[in-house]
């Protein structure tokens, strides 16, 4: 084995951790996967950091209803971002769309860190209002990452068996981002103190670091690519031998633009989106190919969505279950403080609150990696079903035995933390994954965004209604309602999530059959027109060619007869 081959083999060989998760190749060798993982980490960090930041701001500036305002602005922005990000991902390509949403994350994170009171003419904006404005735009950037990261990951590999595992690996960075927030806060509190104005600004500003790193990495990659192209352009021309001269003359005769072909290849390798247009030289493209490309260009995203088979059922299976899960997930986070206060008493310091949050995040984190290990062996539909059932059982036990569990604080913490574990080893991972593998490629990003936006609508509903319901009917009854919602999620998954996903190519096969039938009809129509015009396409073979040639007008027999007559007359 050569040194270059040995280095390539070493780069693609998975380490012990990835082998433990069931990977046969190093998943980090894919640039698209690295991009998706870092962007998903940045999204999760920016989404959850504000809850701890608002506790610090409350001690410095007072409340001012800032918590509800900032949370609502973020969720509203995420709904917009998921819809828009998914659509532009299908329209302009995944990489271009990802660049836009990550740049928006960078600017909004920096703007959030610089929030202050603003007086514009007669209007007065408090620091919470300014922060909510930046959090809305940050939500647009974070929401756009959801469909793009999942779709790019699913399309980064041709190995169908590992597609779901790779999407689950990308999603696991959400858990890493969640656990990083309390760690960063504990470190900054130890350095700057709890009442430091710089501390909360640093927490928010650090959310721009992953995006900045991705930007520098992308610039460095382009510089390397341009240096390789310039080095290739300055290589001395090789002498033309007698064997290569006919090939070059043939290429010049056919007028094939090799530079254009290479540039289009580089564009395709840099952009994994299947919606990028492919440039084909007219001199080497036949009529059927040109007509097929014209037909594809005329079709819009709406047309592709209309042609999606079982669209309503699939949307209920992805968007409906994501809606129900986020009702549970975001509603359940409201009870985190209640459960922790029951178990450990009321937190008196911000550092203690961050420590409690770190405990729950640490209990939930293994669920992400269990999902990665299982989803290659078990269908994602079954993983989602068992997650909903496990959550229903846990919510039911906590709701029925809440008063007794308050006396057994460690058991209460274990049961409550297990709801997050089975959420991550269940619908939290699979609702992110399923839209990227059950929809057709040409509308995958858009429908992924629709499903994700439906989830955030459920999050807004859960965050808005669960707390007032708890104040009215009690925490234990809200837990029982969560159990009921989990059962509904299980039933929707069973009824509407297909067992055979896009990994089985069932949808692509149907689409290809329809496309091939349409091509055959066009081809037969064109050939009939050619026969009527006295032309015969030489693509026919054998008897069919000669039959059509004989019945075409004028016939080669007529030409032969005329040649005989002319020769006879000339001889006379």
Specify the CATH number for the domain of residue 42: 1.20.1250.20
For range 147-170, the mean pLDDT: 85
Phi and psi angles of residue 124, each rounded to the nearest 5 degrees, phi first:
-125, 120
Closest CA to 279 of 255, 261, 296: 261
Higher pLDDT, 505 or 327: 327
Could you tell me if residue 524 is inside a domain? Answer: no
Could you tell me if residue 227 is inside a domain? Answer: no
3-state secondary structure of 280: coil
498 and 541 together in one domain = no
Phi and psi angles of residue 516, each rounded to the nearest 5 degrees, phi first:
-65, -40
Could you tell me if residue 426 is inside a domain? Answer: yes
| For the ranges 183-197, 214-228, 498-512, 514-528, the one whose mean pLDDT is highest | 183-197
Could you tell me if residue 411 is inside a domain? Answer: yes
pLDDT-based confidence at residue 518 (cuts at 50, 70, 90)? low
Tell whether the model's pLDDT for residue 259 goes beyond 60: no
Range scoring the smallest mean pLDDT among 9-18, 302-311, 533-542:
533-542
Last residue of a domain, one of 508, 525, 551: 508
502 and 550 together in one domain = no
pTM for the structure as a whole: 0.73
pLDDT-based confidence at residue 426 (cuts at 50, 70, 90)? very high
Tell whether the model's pLDDT for residue 113 goes beyond 90: yes
Q: Are residues 71 and 463 in contact, defined by beta-carbon separation less than 8 angstroms?
A: yes
Could you tell me if residue 438 is inside a domain? Answer: yes
Higher pLDDT, 449 or 282: 449
Could you tell me if residue 261 is inside a domain? Answer: no
- Domain containing residue 549: 535-564
Q: Are residues 203 and 177 in contact, defined by beta-carbon separation less than 8 angstroms?
A: no
Residue 171's pLDDT is 92
61 and 201 together in one domain = yes
70 and 179 together in one domain = yes
Higher pLDDT, 261 or 111: 111
553 and 450 together in one domain = no
Q: Are residues 454 and 319 in contact, defined by beta-carbon separation less than 8 angstroms?
A: yes
Higher pLDDT, 172 or 196: 172
| 385 to 150, 369, 493: CA distances (angstroms) | 20, 18, 6
Q: How many domains does the chain have?
A: 2
How big is the CA angle at 130 (ends 127 and 131), to the nearest 5 degrees?
Answer: 85
Closest CA to 206 of 71, 103, 100, 113: 113
349 and 465 together in one domain = yes
Question: What is the per-residue pLDDT across 380-390, written as a single tens digit (0 to 9) for each?
Answer: 999 999 999 99
470 and 557 together in one domain = no
Residue 517's pLDDT is 67
559 and 434 together in one domain = no
Could you tell me if residue 232 is inside a domain? Answer: no
422 and 557 together in one domain = no
Residue 270's pLDDT is 44
415 and 555 together in one domain = no
485 and 560 together in one domain = no
What is the rounded radius of gyration, in angstroms, for the C-alpha atoms of the chain?
Answer: 31
Helices and strands, number each (H, E), in the chain: 27, 2
Q: Are residues 82 and 449 in contact, defined by beta-carbon separation less than 8 angstroms?
A: yes
Closest CA to 221 of 3, 35, 42: 35
Could you tell me if residue 486 is inside a domain? Answer: yes
Closest CA to 30 of 9, 11, 6, 4: 11
188 and 322 together in one domain = yes
The secondary structure of 453-520, three-state, reads: HHHHHHHHHHHHHHHHHHHHHCHHHHHHHHHHHHHHHHHHHHHHCCCCCHHHCHHHHHHHHHHHHHHH
For range 386-407, the mean pLDDT: 91
């Amino acid at each position: 084995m050569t040194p270059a081959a040995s280095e390539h083999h070493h780069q693609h060989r998975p380490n012990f951790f990835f082998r433990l998760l069931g990977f046969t190749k190093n998943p980090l060798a894919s640039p698209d996967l690295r991009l998706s993982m870092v962007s998903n980490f940045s999204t999760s960090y920016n989404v959850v950091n504000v809850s701890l930041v608002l506790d610090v701001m409350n001690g410095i500036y007072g409340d001012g209803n800032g918590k509800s305002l900032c949370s609502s602005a973020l969720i509203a922005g995420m709904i917009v971002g998921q819809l828009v990000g998914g659509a532009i991902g299908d329209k302009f390509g995944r990489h271009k769309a990802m660049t836009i949403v990550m740049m928006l994350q960078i600017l909004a994170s920096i703007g959030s860190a610089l929030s202050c009171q603003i007086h514009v003419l007669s209007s007065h904006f408090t620091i919470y209002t300014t922060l909510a404005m930046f959090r809305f735009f940050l939500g647009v950037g974070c929401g756009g990452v959801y469909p793009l990261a999942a779709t790019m990951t699913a399309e980064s590999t041709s190995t169908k068996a590992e597609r779901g595992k790779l999407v689950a690996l990308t999603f696991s960075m959400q858990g890493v981002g969640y656990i990083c927030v309390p760690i960063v806060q504990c470190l900054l509190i130890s350095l700057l103190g709890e009442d430091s104005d710089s501390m909360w600004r640093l927490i928010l500003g650090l959310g721009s670091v992953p995006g900045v790193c991705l930007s520098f990495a992308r610039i460095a990659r382009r510089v390397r690519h341009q240096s390789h192209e310039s080095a290739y352009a300055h290589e001395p021309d090789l002498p033309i031998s007698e064997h290569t001269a006919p090939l070059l003359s043939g290429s010049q005769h056919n007028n094939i633009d090799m530079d254009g072909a290479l540039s289009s290849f580089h564009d395709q390798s840099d952009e994994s989106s299947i919606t990028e247009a492919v440039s084909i030289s007219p001199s080497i493209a036949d009529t059927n190919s040109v007509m097929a490309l014209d037909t594809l260009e005329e079709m819009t995203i709406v047309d592709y969505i209309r042609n999606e088979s079982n669209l309503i059922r699939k949307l209920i299976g992805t968007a409906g279950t994501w809606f129900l899960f986020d009702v549970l997930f975001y509603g359940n986070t409201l009870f985190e403080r209640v459960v922790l206060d029951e178990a450990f008493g009321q937190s008196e310091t911000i550092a203690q609150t961050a420590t409690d949050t770190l405990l729950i995040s640490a209990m939930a984190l293994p669920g992400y990696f269990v999902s990665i290990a299982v989803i290659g062996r078990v269908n994602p539909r079954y993983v989602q079903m068992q997650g909903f059932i496990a959550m229903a059982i846990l919510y039911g036990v906590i709701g029925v035995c809440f008063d007794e569990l308050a006396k057994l604080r460690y058991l209460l913490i274990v049961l409550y933390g297990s709801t997050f574990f089975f959420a991550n080893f269940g619908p939290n991972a699979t609702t992110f994954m399923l839209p990227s593998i059950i929809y057709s490629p040409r509308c995958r990003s858009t429908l992924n965004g629709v499903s994700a936006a439906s989830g955030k609508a459920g999050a807004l509903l859960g965050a808005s209604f669960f707390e007032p319901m708890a104040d009215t009917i009690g925490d234990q009854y809200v837990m029982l309602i969560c159990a009921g919602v989990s059962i509904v999620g299980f039933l929707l998954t069973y009824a509407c999530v297909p067992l055979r996903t896009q990994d089985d190519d069932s949808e692509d096969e149907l689409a290809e059959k329809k496309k091939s039938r349409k091509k055959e009809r066009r081809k037969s129509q064109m050939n009939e027109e050619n026969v009527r015009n006295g032309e015969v396409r030489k693509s026919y073979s054998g008897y069919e060619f000669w039959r059509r040639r004989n019945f075409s007008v004028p016939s080669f027999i007529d030409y032969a007869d005329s040649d005989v007559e002319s020769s006879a007359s000339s001889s006379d």
